[in-house]
Amino acid sequence: MCGFTGYIDKKGVFGEDILRNMTDSLVHRGPDDAGYELMKADFGVAALGFRRLSILDLSEAGHQPMFNHDRSIAIMLNGEVYNFQELKADFISSGISFKSSSDTEVVLKGYELKGIEFIHSLVGMFAISILDIPKQQLYLIRDRAGVKPLFYARYDENIVWGSELKALRNHPAFKHTTDVNALGLYFQNGNIPAPYTIYQDCYKLQPGHYIQFDLSDFSSKIIKYWDVNDYYNQPNNTVSYEESKQHTEELMTSAFKYRMIADVPVGVFLSGGYDSTAVAALLAKSYGQINTFTIGFEEASYNEANYAEAVAKEIGTNHFTEICTIDEAKNIIPELPHIFDEPFGDSSAIPTTLVSRIAKKHVTVALSADAGDELFAGYPRHLKAESYLKKWNSKPGIVKLLVPFLNAVNLNKNLTSANRIEKLIEFLNAKTNAEAFDSINKTFTAGEARLLLNANFRVLNTVFNSGDKFSSKVSPLNQVLAVEYQTYLVDDILQKVDRATMSASLEGREPFLDHRLIEYVATLPADFKLHNGIGKRILKDIVHDYVPKSLMERPKMGFGVPVKKWMKDDLKPLLMEVMGDEALKGNHLLNTNAVRLLREDYLNNKVHDFERLWFVFTYLQWFKKWGN
């Protein structure tokens, strides 16, 4: 796990000091080693910078940027390719020799011998930069699920890219203009979805895509090399439930074991819920005693430590629990703008950062259990969506006639509480299941976001607008799961985990995000996932073979901290520093009267949905550090 950055400078006016500033802004991602390379070529100057967190091949042989034998091809890889040993064995049997035991060299050899199509052979989480000097081409590649981030911006005479926005910001050509259209998306969903960022003309590479730059004329093309919808669009698997359960467990075991490969200590985050218990139980079965970690909180309603300890005892792990003080969690809030670089509204970033710091005391690699809900339908909103979408799909055309009437009575201009009429209008106007699902889950509707902003933003296309790509035979639930895999999972969960773990120089691995697993689970009937109102049916049945059902069944808690209470009490000075009248004077993009009313209603206990205030607070906190 590492961080990289780079730039192509057509005129060659920027020097090594710029590269070093860009690279060293990522030191938290890689404190063990640094590489800086400036190369002159026909297309100008190429600058490559790398910060290394040593996981595989701890020797100098694993140093990056890594070059082929004549230094005509350079690669940087953030993440891990888990099947590199099998790929390497195939190369060795063909007479290819290697200088290191790293996965990066395997990918370099693969590209050199087979070209860009070699990426289809990779199992892993990765962001990759490949510079091919003879061909005058630059490739930026992101893994199928989007576990690892990759940002880029292209201007007339410069291309800049990197693992985090802060690296790009250190290049003099980078433009810092806020994209109000992206900001409109943020207030609706609490994150800025790929391919957009908070900045104009700067983009996130989407999962399962690569971009190819032709450096002779700075042209580019984006290629999608993998699409989860392709698997959801396949006919449902017709094998029995028990056979499906057995094969799902086999795939999970393979995926989980791959993510134990490392030359440093590895542990597992264990909450005691079904997802993390599945990871820990299957690995304990394969390896015997493994290390597991849990954090507990002083406030009982947020403390899951006792559940995790009971599970750890049942499956026999070497378990560590650390009870965190409220002050430890509170102290992370002012750091969030630096960790995330752009507005990010998921308050569970706080405990995720905290548990990462604790795990780093014991291990360098930690396995998380994210995506179990997205694969197997574990969120309450999946049950809600299935019910709503069945009604939406069967509604008579006459229901559309309600929309003009609803528009006429939609007079609510107060952002303190959700505008349910406007939500209903969006729901009824949806063209696909994906758009309908989006309307159900928004925090602010598009209309409310316009009330919040002084500027009228343009609605940007996202994955939610691609619902028409599903076959008519794909159930509404499976459509929702496919969309969640490409939206909430990528733009919220994976962004949160990457930044939180990397801020602690900890490698976070995602065992459920092996593409072989989703390619199979996508073909399972919806009833294997959500059954009689209960989500994660097949996953839960697998877990019950290892841990008694009586130990597992309890209400879903999530992973949060009582931010709503803190911001009104101990952290009220921070709230007023960020959202007070004086701070609001400097922000030309927000409707300050609307923000002021939202703030005062919250302080007077009139805001029922705290997430609405938190989204505004986190944007303003970001603006205080990075805004223009």
- Tens-digit pLDDT profile for residues 62-108: 899 999 999 999 999 999 999 999 999 999 999 999 998 899 999 99
How confident is the model at residue 404, as a pLDDT? 64
Rounded Cα distance, 47 and 18, in Å: 9
269-302 pLDDT per residue, tens: 998 999 999 999 999 999 988 999 888 777 666 6
**Most distant CA pair in the chain, distance:** 75
Task: Out of 44-58, 286-300, 433-447, give the one with best mean pLDDT.
Answer: 433-447
Of 154-163, 369-378, 471-480, the one with minimum mean pLDDT is 471-480
- Type and span of the H or E element at 77: strand 73-81
CATH of the domain at 99: 3.60.20.10
Q: Is the peptide bond before 65 cis (omega within 30 degrees of 0)?
A: yes
How confident is the model at residue 245, as a pLDDT? 97
> Do 248 and 302 fall into the same domain?
yes
Going by pLDDT thresholds of 50, 70 and 90, the confidence category of residue 556 is low
> Do 278 and 379 fall into the same domain?
yes
| HEC readout, 5-44 | EEEEECCCCCCHHHHHHHHHCCHHHCECEEEEEEEEECCE
How confident is the model at residue 525, as a pLDDT? 95
Q: Is the peptide bond before 404 cis (omega within 30 degrees of 0)?
A: no
> Do 557 and 587 fall into the same domain?
no
Burial annotation 480-501 (CB, 10 A radius, 16+ → b, else e): bbbbbbbbbbbbbbbbbbbbbb
Both tokens of 589, joined, read 């993009």
| Contact criterion met (CB below 8 Å) for 293 and 267 | yes
Report the domain count for the chain: 3
Rounded Cα distance, 210 and 142, in Å: 6
**Domain closes at, from 224, 240, 263:** 224
* Better-scored residue on pLDDT, 382 or 561: 382
> Do 103 and 67 fall into the same domain?
yes
Judge residue 336's burial from the number of C-beta atoms within 10 Å of its C-beta, 0-12 exposed, 13-18 middle, 19 or more buried.
buried
> Do 339 and 259 fall into the same domain?
yes
> Do 571 and 441 fall into the same domain?
no
> Do 220 and 232 fall into the same domain?
no
- Record the pTM: 0.94
> Do 515 and 590 fall into the same domain?
no
**Domain closes at, from 561, 582, 602:** 561
CATH of the domain at 540: 3.40.50.620
Q: Residue 571: pLDDT above 70?
A: yes
> Do 174 and 311 fall into the same domain?
no
Q: Is the dihedral angle over the CA atoms 69, 75, 81, 87 positive or is it negative?
A: negative
| Contact criterion met (CB below 8 Å) for 295 and 323 | yes
Residue keyed to tokens 């930026």: 140
**Domain closes at, from 176, 201, 224:** 224
Both tokens of 414, joined, read 């107060």
> Do 189 and 83 fall into the same domain?
yes
Q: What is the domain extent for residue 572? A: 563-626
Of 81-95, 304-318, 485-499, the one with minimum mean pLDDT is 304-318
- Residue 320: count other Cβ atoms within 10 Å of its Cβ: 18
Rounded Cα distance, 415 and 301, in Å: 29
| Contact criterion met (CB below 8 Å) for 250 and 239 | no
* 430 φψ region: left (φ > 0), alpha (ψ -120 to 50), beta (else): beta
* 558 φψ region: left (φ > 0), alpha (ψ -120 to 50), beta (else): left
361-405 pLDDT per residue, tens: 888 899 999 999 999 999 989 888 777 777 767 665 555 666 665
| HEC readout, 200-257 | CCEEECCCCEEEEEECCCCEEEEEECCCCHHHHCCCCCCCCHHHHHHHHHHHHHHHHH
Both tokens of 471, joined, read 């076959």
> Do 95 and 181 fall into the same domain?
yes
Rounded Cα distance, 309 and 272, in Å: 8
Rounded Cα distance, 577 and 2, in Å: 34
Of 147-161, 337-351, 449-463, the one with minimum mean pLDDT is 449-463
Helices (H), 84-155: 84-93, 103-114
Q: Residue 33: pLDDT above 70?
A: yes
Rounded Cα distance, 392 and 395, in Å: 5
Going by pLDDT thresholds of 50, 70 and 90, the confidence category of residue 324 is confident
> Do 248 and 348 fall into the same domain?
yes
